[in-house]
Amino acid sequence: MTTQTTPFPRTILEDRDNDQTAHLLQESLADMVDMSLLLKQAHWNVVGKNFRSVHLQLDEVLESTRSASDELAERMAALGVSPDGRAGTVNEQSSLRDYPTGFQSVDDTISLVADALKSTIDRLRHAIEQLGSLDPITEDLCIGISGELEKHLWMVQSQEV
């Protein structure tokens, strides 16, 4: 990953820790931006019984992912590293599978969204494991984001049972 840094004269982290932290943040940012797009696609294309509740729930999850992407990007900027949420970068770096085209049943939507949430959480948890020794502030940020997404995962996949 090529990072563009600011000329801030006062840095928060040592260079090596900063680079590793920024890399982990960028990976999670790519997933979060992709997750936001996936959720909107699911929101527009869900059909079937219980459509309305799932349609509305997807927007609730979307609100969390958009807020999280902003927090991740702003943390990168605070560390003096330029966040990259451009479509090409997100496509290249996201760990999420492509969402299918066309209308999806409520059941398929729930399963697809739950899978995407799990992938996003897995990457965040991987970052959390690494961040403990690099930057506890960023680690705490990622823990908070993961906790909120894990709650959404619980609520989404509870509909599969």
DSSP one-letter string for 66-115? HHHHHHHHHHHHHTTB-----HHHHHHH--SPPPPSS-EEHHHHHHHHHH
- Residue 72's closest CA among 7, 1, 123? 123
Q: Is the pLDDT of residue 88 over 60?
A: yes
For the stretch 13-31, pLDDT in tens is: 988 999 999 999 999 999 9
Q: Which stretch of DSSP H or E encloses residue 105?
A: strand 104-105
For the stretch 148-160, pLDDT in tens is: 999 999 999 999 9
Query: What is the separation of C-alpha 159 from the centre of its chain, rounded to a whole number of angstroms?
Result: 22
Q: Is the pLDDT of residue 1 over 70?
A: no
Q: Is the pLDDT of residue 86 over 60?
A: yes
Please state the rounded mean pLDDT for residues 122-148.
Answer: 97
CA 20 to CA 139: how far, in whole Å? Answer: 12
Query: What is the separation of C-alpha 49 from the centre of its chain, rounded to a whole number of angstroms?
Result: 28
Would you place residue 4 in the very low, low, confident or very high pLDDT band (cuts 50, 70, 90)?
low
pLDDT at 11: 84
CB 112, CB 42: distance < 8 Å: yes
CATH, domain 16-94+101-157, list 1.10.3720.10, 1.20.1260.10, 3.40.630.30, 3.30.450.20: 1.20.1260.10
Weakest mean pLDDT among 1-5, 28-32, 70-74: 1-5
Instruction: Name the 3-class secondary structure at 46.
Output: strand
DSSP state of 104: E
CA 117 to CA 45: how far, in whole Å? Answer: 18
Would you place residue 97 in the very low, low, confident or very high pLDDT band (cuts 50, 70, 90)?
very high
Please state the rounded mean pLDDT for residues 77-95.
Answer: 96
**More confident site: 8 or 97:** 97
